[in-house]
Amino acid sequence: MILQLSYGVVSIVRNYSTKVTPKCCTNQFKNINVKIPRNPKVIKVQWTDQQLQVFDAIVRRESVFITGSAGTGKTKLIEEVIKSLRKIYGKKEVCVTASTGVVACALGGQTLHSFAGVGLAEADADILLSRVLDNKRVSKRWKMVKALVVDEISMVEGELFDKLEYIARMIREKDEPWGGIQLVVSGDFLQLPPVNVGKNSGRGKVFAFEADSWEHSFQLQVGLNTVFRQSDPELIRLLQGIRSGELDTEGLELLEKRRCSREPEETVVRLFPRITDVNQVNEMRLKRLGEKIIVYEAFDTGDKPWIGQLDRGMAPKKLQLCKGARVMLTKNLNVKGKLVNGATGTIMGFKIVVEGNIAKICGGKLLPIVKFDSGGEKMIEPATWNVMVGDRKCATRLQLPLILAWAMSIHKSQGMTLDRLHTNLSEAFGFGMIYVALSRLRSLDGLSFSSDLDPSKIRAHPKVLEYYKKHFQ
């Protein structure tokens, strides 16, 4: 199988079966030679049959929904799909969005609401359409886009999905789904749901798949089922059960072995459902060290309202660090060297650096030296986060790619991989929260939790279970 990038277009030679073994722990790969003309280097990439189906559909300019449990490579696949779409259409015609600012910034895109120009989208579809038409820049964006990527679709309500589909058809004056835009949507509905799911669970179109336009929006819906994050079949089976809202006796016994009454070591990340608990723990631990605090103020450039989106990402506006602080990387710096998003370590000291952009964020011109848990030390330099509309940078933040890592929220951990974590499962609320927390782990050995485990906290929404049973079993 050859995935060949030529003349700006991706082409795939298919010789694989479209029938996929529905086992979450299968490990059947296809080796693909990715050949890039003008460069004799051949890059070896491993894709599953299902991922190849997605690439094939992208080349045919079909709309695709990609789902699957945590750790099945959705993020990596989306990143490669974005590259392919830009090869096909060019950067200007591909818009990358997500339901949350954290994910949008990580992908170098913008939130779905901001792209659409609909604000909170509380008005009916015709009023929102008028609002978009009155904004020349937003209206032009809707007409220009040829491919729209939407990540973390689980947090997008069905009503909004229908409104945006209607706006796309009306503005583009094409009576086909989304006015002819190629749609690439990704997410797991069995993870974190829309914010108002509890309030609206008895009425309306809560989930995006309940939208009237959902089924007509895609030529292909794929449920990825090869798990890469975990290799232990026992843990995979446990997580798949929790994902479906089930915990059998064997699974309960496995979890109970990880219950611990004592405080976790400082090197263990604590996950909390609420951000107030996260901030309290991080601030307390920072002060407890008694070291001089170095402050890094993010340097932002850009236009309104885009610049406001930067505060929703993983790069904090104000970052306080000191020697001994536990930190986590928020960007991939060196994948082979294991310096990836989610890698944790301890600040060993600081170094004065006179060159570069450090003066923009730190008056003392100090850069932290981090000793990572995976081994090795590295001086962490400033990085940038962009809000993109097509190929245009609308806002940019310069900041260190670090956050304090004694504690973090379950919401912000979504998409990360952690070696060790500690959580209080009794504090979880809502559908999918315990699953999101536990599925961050590579191994069950890295888990510890306090308090008694209440199996009733492990919940999956019945509408989502019905949808997955219908489409992916």
End of a domain among 224, 253, 278?
Answer: 224
Which pLDDT does position 35 carry in this prediction? 30
User: Is residue 125 predicted with pLDDT exceeding 60?
Assistant: yes
* Same domain (yes/no): 191, 297: no
Residue 454 and residue 365 share a domain: no
- The pLDDT tens digits for 371-412 are 998 888 999 999 998 887 766 788 899 999 999 999 988 988
d(CA 258, CA 341): 25
Residues 286 and 401 in one domain: yes
* Helix (H) / strand (E) containing 346: strand 344-352
Same structural domain, 325 and 359: yes
Total tally of structural domains belonging to the chain:
3
Which region among 200-209, 360-369, 448-457 has the lowest average model confidence (pLDDT)?
200-209
Segment 94-119 mean pLDDT: 86
Sign of the alpha-carbon dihedral angle for 272, 274, 278, 281? negative
Q: Beta strand pairing status for 64-68 and 30-35? A: unpaired
* Residue 414: inside a domain: no
Give percent of the chain with pLDDT exceeding 70. 88
- pLDDT for 121 equals 87
Among the candidates 408, 443, 458, a domain finishes at 408
pLDDT at 324 over 70: yes
Does residue 297 sit in the same domain as residue 324?
Answer: yes
Residues 383, 333 share a domain: yes
Is 141 part of any domain?
A: yes
CA–CA dist 471, 339 (Å, integer): 37
pLDDT tens, residue by residue, 178-234:
999 999 999 999 998 887 665 554 557 899 999 999 999 999 999 999 999 888 888
Q: How many Å apart are CA 158 and CA 38, to the nearest integer? A: 45
Q: What is the pLDDT at residue 390?
A: 66
415 within a domain of the structure (yes/no) = no
pLDDT at 303: 83
pLDDT of residue 294: 96
Average pLDDT for 40-65: 83
Of the candidates 227, 187, 184, the residue with the CA atom closest to the CA atom of residue 29: 227
Residue 432's closest CA among 190, 156, 255, 100?
A: 190
Domain ranges, residue 171 = 2-224
pTM: 0.76
Torsional class of 38: left (φ above 0), alpha (ψ -120 to 50), beta (otherwise):
left
**Cα–Cα distance for residue pair 118/132, rounded to 1 Å:** 7
Lowest mean pLDDT among 193-197, 211-215, 252-256, 432-436: 193-197
Rounded Cα–Cα distance for residues 355 and 405 (Å): 28
* Per-residue pLDDT reduced to its tens digit, 271-322: 998 889 999 999 999 999 999 999 999 999 998 778 887 887 778 999 999 9
Both 93 and 192 in one domain: the answer is: yes
Higher pLDDT, 283 or 2: 283
Residue the block writes with tokens 């086909």 = 176
* Average pLDDT score, the chain: 85
Mean pLDDT of the 245-262 span: 88
Query: Which pLDDT band, with edges at 50, 70 and 90, does 451 fall under?
Result: confident
